[in-house]
Amino acid sequence: MMKRIAPLQEMDRAPDFVLKTKTAEGLKDIRLWDNLRKKQTILLFFPMAFTSGCTKELCAASEDYSQYAKLDADVYGISADNPFAQEAWAKASNITITLLSDMGSKVIEDYGVLAPSRFGFPGVAMRSVFVINKIGTIVYRWVGKELSDLPDFEPVKQALGRPQFL
């Protein structure tokens, strides 16, 4: 896919992807479209594991996971970190949502949330949130202006509670 200049918008079709996560059993592939028709999906793009803002964001999402489950949604955190670093960070910080590794930043680019190179780290995602309904349509999106911006999760919950006609 071509490098996106701007983030995907509400009503856009969510691009499919396959990314790796590290589980106790080893590496596992997660495909976005395998989840569709079963549950809604929240994608949380974040800049980098082991940073204070990302830890705060992903811990908040982990604490609210039962609320998302009640709204028939799965939550995935996506960064350019390798899956082993993500696993170590999740264990150290009690992050319980599934973390997906986009080491080549392809999905980050496909969703249009690639940040300008910061501190010599290319491929970092802008902190952003996409809510995807069961038929693959983006029904909510938020993209921070700065890497330090944190999302408000109330609009995410509201988007999950809307009827699924789109």
Q: Is 54 a catalytic residue?
A: yes
- Which of the following is catalytic: 30, 48, 49, 54? 54
Residue 150: alpha-carbon gap to chain centroid: 13
Q: How many CB atoms lie within 10 A of CB 152?
A: 9
Counting Cα atoms < 13 Å in the Cβ hemisphere of 28 gives 11
- The three-point CA angle 87-93-94 to 5° equals 85
Whether the CB-CB separation of 165 and 74 falls below 8 Å is answered with no
Catalytic residues: 54
